[in-house]
Chain A
Amino acid sequence: MGKIIELKKVNKWFDKFQVLKDIDLEVASQEKIVICGPSGSGKSTLIRCINRLEEHQKGNIIVDGTELAENTKNIEKIRAEVGMVFQQFNLFPHLSILDNCTLAPIWVKKLPKKEAEEVAMKNLTRVQIDDQANKFPGQLSGGQQQRAAIARALCMEPKIMLFDEPTSALDPEMIKEVLDVMVDLAKGGMTMIVVTHEMGFAKEVADYMIFMDEGKIVERAKTKEFFENPKSDRTKLFLSQIL
């Protein structure tokens, strides 16, 4: 399996504060990676750099063969291949769920409306909210909104999916319905990078675990090894606190 994402010595600063320090990371196609770490460790920033919602200042980020840099043309094309799910869902409140899902395929991928609606309904069925298609986001529960957001990203048929703490803004009883959808997605062979504190989910689907602290990757290990035999003391401390 070829590398689909490659990060080489990536550094990023917010003004003077360094959020990412010499990040090296390779993700192969169809791999699932879970990133964890204390808040402020730079894990969200890291995945936001992968679709260039944040710009890095030093190092190289190569996504599907294209390097992301200041002068990268067609950044939209890369973003269209990288789906993203946000902590706050970020559905478009002025559009129905169906329109949320068809808007980008119609306007970015130039899909005919009918075809886009078929794709949307297929994905909404996959996340089990096809019966809510004509409602507006404000009428849905948090869990339903997040599943709609996943469906919206899937409608672009991305090669990679990024999840930025997808369950952190949800009521506890809604977390499972979202995680179930993500597990299903992982089993379907999607390349996924997930920032989350849901360790049960990580154990179930992740190929690799990454632990970040203070802008650095402290530990990168196979999931089993990561949980059973973490090498760094910082990881041990973190795991002991959240497990």
Chain B
Amino acid sequence: MILNNLKPTKDKINTFLPLGSIFVIFAFLDVLTNTFLNYNITGFLPQTLNYFFPLLLGYIGLYLIRIEFSGNRFLDKLNKNINSSNFNAFLTLLILFIIIKAISPLMNWLILEANFVGSSKDDCTGNGACWVFIKVWFNRLMYGLYPDVEQWRVNSAFLLLFALVGIAFFVPQKIKKYFIIFLLFVYPFIGIKLLSGGSFGLVYVETAAWGGLSLTFIISAFAILFCFPIGVFLALGRRSSLPAIRYISIGFIELWRGVPLITVLFMAAVMFPMFLPDGTFIDKLIRVLIAITLFEAAYMAEVVRGGLQALPKGQYEAAKSLGMGYWRMNVLIILPQALKLVIPGIANTLLALVKDTPLIFVVGLMELAGMIGLAKTNPKWLGMAMEGYVFAGLVFWIICYAMSRYSQNLEKKLSTER
């Protein structure tokens, strides 16, 4: 009888809803004051009970407001989504309380108690992060050991790239292809010349001095640019009817996929020069670039092959029956569809590529994460690893999230099924 009376039903909504709401609100109030104001409302309770009290209170409260078909749209939605059973109510409370508890120290460390002004480690007096570290090292994190007076060259190389890409988006279709050809085949040489110098009155800057975020961009851009077409050719090669091409493609893909990138980089930088004839010299950065490109191309090939296999046989037959040869069939009919299908997979591979670039530290090249590794071991700045890697993580996240959004837009734009 008593239990029956305690069951929340619609006819008793006027009792249960306010009562339950008060319970829930009080539970949250307790947690919030506890975390942010450092004041414990329920301090009078024994310690163990005190700790779990908001959870218990909120749980009872959520039970009381779990009224089926209450007629209140907000309440119904709430019950359906986060309060559908005792277990779900418990999970909801637990997760929310953990988030509230976690936000406070996180905000303290990141912003509230962090240090932003100053020029040395001694200026960091608060308990929070020492962002002075990033500020002081910012130039190095962006440009590596590139000489300060020459950094305008890095800036202008990237500005030129962004400007070209930007203009390419807005020019009419007819001129666009010349822009793209220029970007793919002419710009890389201009960019390299601008960065390395040695002629046109530019001072020579050896690639070992390149570094920081700009190196991350350089490596990512080159590898993406070249691994994509190579991957497509490998994918086509693996499905070729000519055995020689097929086995070479399979061999290449399986070889590069089977070796860790760190090993590949080490071999490219250290072992490869030993096999070169005396007197020949290939720059370390170029060797590394080729290694990363070939490594990622093997992954790209398998992603693209997935798309090729997903296309119905009829598409090949229709193309053939119209008199198209192998290349026309693939370029005009098969690849546009297959690549569209695997945009998520391609984005996945390219994101992995960007995030693999820090591995070049094994050969002594320092991109963003590598420069942080260098900076945190500077005797004047010991103990700054956390700030450094949080910053690096944030920068990588921004780059990768932008790429991810772009791939989603591309997918939407190319979709013809409605």
Residues of chain A having any CB pair with chain B under 8 Å: 51, 53, 76-77, 79-84, 86, 88, 90-94, 103-104, 107-109, 136, 138-139, 149, 152-153, 156
Q: Is B337 an interface residue (CB 8 A)?
A: yes
State the Cβ distance, A61 to closest chain B Cβ, in Å: 15
| Residue of A whose beta carbon sits closest to that of B324 | A108
| Residue of B whose beta carbon sits closest to that of A78 | B323
Apart from A76-B320, A90-B317, A103-B332: 9 A-B pairs, beta carbons within 8 A: A53-B317, A81-B323, A83-B321, A93-B337, A103-B322, A107-B328, A136-B418, A152-B322, A156-B322
Partner of A136, one of B314, B336, B416: B416
Residues of B contacting A108 with CB < 8 Å? 322-324, 328
| Residue of A whose beta carbon sits closest to that of B336 | A94
Q: Is B122 an interface residue (CB 8 A)?
A: no
| Residue of A whose beta carbon sits closest to that of B325 | A76
State whether B318 touches A94 (Cβ < 8 A). no
**Top 8 closest pairs, chain A to chain B, by CB:** A80-B323, A90-B318, A104-B322, A90-B314, A84-B321, A136-B416, A108-B323, A79-B323
State whether B332 touches A107 (Cβ < 8 A). yes
Q: Is B246 an interface residue (CB 8 A)?
A: no
State whether B321 touches A53 (Cβ < 8 A). yes
State whether B340 touches A76 (Cβ < 8 A). no
Q: Is B218 an interface residue (CB 8 A)?
A: no
Residues of chain B having any CB pair with chain A under 8 Å: 312, 314-315, 317-325, 328, 332-333, 336-337, 340, 414, 416-418
State whether B328 touches A138 (Cβ < 8 A). no
Main SS of the interface on chain B?
A: helix
Q: Measured between alpha carbons, how far is A83 from B318 in the docked complex, in Å?
A: 10
| Residue of A whose beta carbon sits closest to that of B416 | A136
| Given A86-B314, A90-B314, A107-B332: A79 touches B320 (CB 8 Å cut-off) | yes
Q: Measured between alpha carbons, how far is A153 from B322 in the docked complex, in Å?
A: 7
Q: Measured between alpha carbons, how far is A53 from B323 in the docked complex, in Å?
A: 11
Q: Measured between alpha carbons, how far is A153 from B414 in the docked complex, in Å?
A: 25
Tally of A-B residue pairs with Cβ under 8 A? 74
Q: Measured between alpha carbons, how far is A136 from B418 in the docked complex, in Å?
A: 9
State the Cβ distance, A211 to closest chain B Cβ, in Å: 25
Q: Measured between alpha carbons, how far is A53 from B336 in the docked complex, in Å?
A: 22
Partner of B323, one of A77, A94, A136, A149: A77
State the Cβ distance, A131 to closest chain B Cβ, in Å: 18
Residues of B contacting A82 with CB < 8 Å? 321
Q: What are 30 A-B pairs with beta-carbon distances under 8 A? A: A76-B324, A77-B323, A79-B321, A81-B323, A82-B321, A83-B321, A84-B317, A88-B312, A88-B314, A90-B315, A92-B333, A92-B337, A93-B337, A93-B416, A94-B336, A94-B337, A94-B416, A103-B322, A104-B323, A107-B324, A108-B322, A136-B416, A136-B417, A136-B418, A138-B417, A138-B418, A149-B318, A153-B321, A153-B322, A156-B323
| Residue of B whose beta carbon sits closest to that of A105 | B322
Q: Measured between alpha carbons, how far is A153 from B418 in the docked complex, in Å?
A: 25
Which of B312, B318, B336, B418 gathers the greatest number of chain A CB atoms within 10 Å?
B318
Residues of B contacting A88 with CB < 8 Å? 312, 314
Residues of B contacting A109 with CB < 8 Å? 323
State whether B320 touches A53 (Cβ < 8 A). yes
| Residue of A whose beta carbon sits closest to that of B314 | A90
Q: Measured between alpha carbons, how far is A7 from B17 in the docked complex, in Å?
A: 85
Residues of B contacting A81 with CB < 8 Å? 323
Partner of A94, one of B320, B321, B322, B340: B340
State the Cβ distance, B341 to closest chain A Cβ, in Å: 10
Residues of B contacting A152 with CB < 8 Å? 322
Q: Measured between alpha carbons, how far is A93 from B328 in the docked complex, in Å?
A: 17
State the Cβ distance, A29 to closest chain B Cβ, in Å: 20
State whether A79 touches B322 (Cβ < 8 A). yes
Q: Measured between alpha carbons, how far is A51 from B314 in the docked complex, in Å?
A: 14
Residues of A contacting B315 with CB < 8 Å? 90, 92
| Given A77-B323, A103-B332: A139 touches B418 (CB 8 Å cut-off) | yes
